[in-house]
Amino acid sequence: MNKKHIITIAGKLGSGKSSTAKKVADILDYTHYSTGDFMRAIADDRGISLGDLNIIAETDPSIDKKLDDRNIEIGEMENIVLDSRLGFHFIPDSFKVFLDLDPETASERILKDKENNPNRSKEATGSFNDKESIIEKITDRLISERKRYKDLYGIEDHTSPDNFNLVINTKEIPLEEVSREVIREYNNWLNS
């Protein structure tokens, strides 16, 4: 299999997936793409919230099809960092990274982000006010995604380490270090 100059980054909510993808793209001078940004654009085009679009996506496969087609299109490019839960699936010849994080730490990060960015939309931070509601939302979303991805693509568990070249637990590791590790292992992968 040919190796493409593409890094796909997936991860659990709050793990730093988007921040890491942006940082890695910046350091490598690659172009950054985000499935989340594309979902927000679809929601904006329809004049609905991202939350409403996610609910619609559970029964309307055309939304996932648009996202899938976009991931496949990005997979034809070079010098890309894509943050996408299913990038590993649609761009199998990419360097595949997964950022792991326990729900407790994720909830703390999400609350802190909400406090530090009070003008951010509810779409970005959710309408939560406590750790327990965030942990419940993280768990519900993971269960929903597992079912949806199994039904649509036959993927048993999109968070399984077996899907990735590199798995990093970001609980104790700052963004700079996570980004450096991704780049170091990506370069090793390219040269192997």
Q: Rounded to the nearest 10 degrees, how much is the dihedral formed by the CA atoms of 124, 25, 99, 3?
A: 140
What is the value of pTM for the model shown? 0.88
pLDDT at residue 83 is higher than 70 = yes
Find the DSSP H helices in the chain: 17-28, 35-46, 50-57, 61-74, 87-90, 103-116, 122-125, 131-153, 175-191
- The pLDDT tens digits for 106-157 are 888 888 877 776 654 444 444 567 888 888 888 888 888 888 888 889 999 9
**Distances 114 to 2, 45, 122 between C-alpha atoms, Å:** 41, 26, 9
pLDDT at residue 71 in the model: 92
Indicate the average pLDDT of the chain. 89
103: in domain: yes
Structure tokens at 51: 């939350």
Find the DSSP H helices in 47-90: 50-57, 61-74, 87-90
- The residue-averaged pLDDT of 61-86 equals 93
Structure tokens at 158: 């999109």
Distance CA 80, CA 117 (A): 28
Residue 39 belongs to a domain with what CATH number? 3.40.50.300
pLDDT above 70: percentage of residues in the chain: 93
pLDDT at residue 128 in the model: 60
pLDDT at residue 119 in the model: 55
189: in domain: no
Distance CA 56, CA 74 (A): 24
188: in domain: no
- The residue-averaged pLDDT of 42-65 equals 87
- The residue-averaged pLDDT of 68-79 equals 94
Domain encompassing residue 14: 6-172
Cα four-point dihedral sign 122, 89, 3, 74 = negative
pLDDT at residue 4 is higher than 80 = yes
Number of domains comprising the chain: 1
Distance CA 72, CA 57 (A): 19
Entry field: residues in the chain:
192
pLDDT at residue 58 is higher than 90 = no
120: in domain: yes
